Amino acid sequence: MYDGIVQDLIDEFGRLPGIGPKSAQRITFHILQTPTFDVARLSELLAEVRERVRFCEVCGNVSEQDRCSICRDPRRNATVICVVEDAKDVAAIERTREFRGLYHVLGGAISPIAGIGPDDLRITQLMQRLADGTVQEVILATNPNLEGEATATYLSRLLRTLEIAVTRLASGLPVGGDLEYADEVTLGRAFEGRRSI
């Protein structure tokens, strides 16, 4: 539709997740027409990001060094490991400031439909981390959906043989939510997990 590079850039933006053709066009024209937008910086970051970013050799989180900033931090509690599906989940949990232990990123969840089995996840690496007896608790923080639950169940059975406490994040009503709009499963879980106050 447009001449050469303008259309090329629109097409390239359109390949990114959540960006449709209209958004891609809007972004491209924003870049063309906004002199204050630092297009060189975005270009350079994109050129470098894959080279500079690796995955932490211990936990699998994103990092610019062999070990990520959390694994390198001596103030973190090395006796608790929180197991998550994805590096994005690490960031989400860090934002809560509730957790001061270490992480283990599985790199996905067990999903027979998507053809992802236990061997495709970083489970062997997790077992190696637990071998020396430092870790006393493993928190299973996989997603509260079918795949995440299956993965948590699989891991809890695997860890049963070790002398380690295995816990799962509580399911229930989202804070700030509305009971009326909660789905049955969530509301059922909230009842199941009710606590004395």
Which residues are at the interface with its own copies (CB under 8 A)? 1-6, 8-9, 12-13, 15-19, 22-23, 25-32, 37-50, 52-53, 62-65, 68-69, 86-88, 91, 94-95, 181
Shortest Å distance, C-beta 23 to its own copies: 5
Give 41 or 160: the residue with its C-beta nearer to its own copies.
41
Nearest approach in angstroms of CB 95 to its own copies is: 7
Residues contacting 181, CB < 8 A, separation 6+: none
Please say which residue, 11 or 157, places its beta carbon nearer to its own copies: 11
77-84 vs 101-105, strand pairing mode: parallel
Identify which of residues 95 and 194 has a Cβ nearer to its own copies in the complex.
95
In the complex, minimum distance from the CB of residue 108 to its own copies, in angstroms, rounded to a whole number: 10
Instruction: For residues 116 and 33, give the distance between their C-alpha atoms in angstroms, rounded to a whole number.
Output: 45
Q: How far is CA 63 from the centre of its chain?
A: 14
Amino acid (one-letter) located at 119: D
Measured from the Cβ of residue 83, the count of other Cβ atoms closer than 10 Å reads 25
- What kind and span of H or E run contains 126? helix 123-130
d(CA 103, CA 105): 7
- DSSP three-state, residue 104: strand
Q: How far is the CB of 9 from its own copies (least distance, A)?
A: 5
Of 52 and 157, nearer to its own copies (C-beta) is 52
What gap in Å lies between CA 165 and CA 156, rounded to an integer?
A: 10
Question: What strand order describes the sheet that includes 165-168?
Answer: 101-105, 77-84, 137-140, 165-168
- Closer residue to its own copies, CB minimum distance, 88 or 157: 88
Q: How far is the CB of 105 from its own copies (least distance, A)?
A: 11
Smallest separation, CB 26 to its own copies (Å): 6
The answer to whether 72 and 58 are in contact (CB under 8 A) is no
- 89 or 138: whose CB is closer to its own copies? 89
